[in-house]
Amino acid sequence: MAAVVSSANVCWVLREDPELADAIEPARRAQAVESLVAREVKVPSGAWAGRPIPVDDGIGLLVLEGVMLHRVGIDGRFGAELVGEGDVLRAVSQDNDNPTLPLTVEWLILEPSRVAVLDERFVRQLARFPQVAGRLFARSVLRSRQLAVNMAIVHQARVDVRLHLLFWQLADRWGRVRSDGIVVPLRLTHTVLADLVAARRPTVTSALSDLSRRGLVRAVSDGWLLSGPSPGADANASGPRTSRAKRHPSHL
């Protein structure tokens, strides 16, 4: 079912995303929090028809809550990434109206989502607080780096290795430490995982069974449980780094 987008509210961006507020010097922070207001859009679970809301004269969309799958395909083969809280999205001229390659672009909303529309009006507000613009740009650079990591993962020959690496990459952002391991609280189907590791769904199912038998990754009621050290780390390594997603754990 296609997601029906609703837009009836505004949000105070720095209240929603305190990490952005930290860029402002304390003496001006309260003023910035009250000044930076944007339109809020809610996107329910399902296929997001078309593309993210175009923001031709602004920055784009800031994900406030939720999890999305972004798929780009050529001739039935797809690359994919997970997008979540704190990410900045930008639709580029209908993802190029006349691309050289016959691309298909799809968005699947895995968890009900909210986004802030950082349009031209928001940019005018932002001119008084350029430090926030720098943080938003850094978010875009980080997303590009994560895509490069995804590319390195899918170049691994074995699908079980790809999945093991992928789950630890997700744990770095979304993971929660508990007594029996680290939980990645994302309800990812075998089909979604197949997109993320560039494999066929039956192959992913088989590889997940192997990882479970080896005590490395298994499905649990609230997502996926990782046991043992991360790939390439010794048993005394610390757990996943604190991520911006952990500010609102109830969102996932």
pLDDT at 91: 63
pLDDT at 233: 62
In order of 114, 156, 182, 226, the CA distances from 160 in angstroms are 33, 9, 18, 13
Helix axes 190-197, 130-154, angle to 10 degrees: 90
pLDDT at 6: 60
pLDDT at 76: 79
pLDDT at 156: 96
Which CATH number is correct for 6-147, 2.70.50.60, 2.60.34.10, 2.60.120.10, 1.20.1050.10?
2.60.120.10
- Alpha carbon 183 to chain centroid, angstroms: 17
Domain extents in the chain: 6-147, 156-251
- List per-residue pLDDT tens for the chain, 252 residues long: 555 556 568 999 999 999 999 999 999 999 999 999 999 999 999 998 756 776 767 899 999 999 999 998 888 788 899 999 999 998 654 445 556 878 888 899 999 999 999 999 999 999 999 999 999 999 989 999 999 999 999 999 999 999 999 999 999 999 999 999 999 999 999 999 999 999 999 999 999 999 999 999 999 999 999 998 888 765 444 444 444 434 333 333
Among candidate residues 48, 166, 51, the one with its CA nearest the CA of residue 103:
51
CATH number for the region 156-251 comes to 1.10.10.10
H runs (alpha helix) in 24-129: 26-35, 120-126
pLDDT at 236: 46
- Give this prediction's pTM: 0.83
